[in-house]
Structure 1
Amino acid sequence: MSTDSTTYTKILDALNLSELEPEEQEEILLDLNDLVFKGTLIRLIERMPARIREEFDSLLATDPSEDVMEAFIQKNVPDADSAVTETLAELTDDILAVTT
């Protein structure tokens, strides 16, 4: 699952990160990545049929690698990549709404 670097650039520009200390920039970027990850995961789980959701829950209990999780999602969730795009678009809209 890939992300759109143009979208990230819009977010970073809107937040004026260049005005902040490097440590603050890093903290904000980590928080943004966390928001994108969680938002995407929620969207993916919502798209899973109940049976697949149960299988995914069982998989998570085994502490799988990122590659294993991504392979499961790509196999079982149609159009999974769009979840990342949708999450980024929503986050961008929210940030731009309060910063512009």
Structure 2
Amino acid sequence: MVNKPAVVWNKSAESSLKRIYQYIKEDSPQSAEKVRDEIFAIARQLADHPEKYALDKFKEQNQGDHRAFEKHSCRVAYRVTEKQIRILRVRHVKQEPKIY
């Protein structure tokens, strides 16, 4: 049996998602929960299909291990290794993209 990689969130990614959640919650607590819950659900599913999403176009010299997905105008970047999937950052798509 092959072990699934663990999905691990960087502190900065968690903080970013929390800020986005708080911002949306000001207008709609229900929408804020939906956004948060659906992003967490997709992140959990990455353990089953880590290469489902496209390579991260904002990662310089991407060796094929950095990928990203978008949901509810949030862009989530993550890195795939043999043992873990690390959620690196969460940003609203209207923010200036950061090359890293």
- When normalised by structure 2's length, the TM-score is 0.43
Which structure has more RCO (C-alpha within 8 Å, separation ≥ 6)? 1
Q: Which has the higher helix share?
A: 1
- When normalised by structure 1's length, the TM-score is 0.43
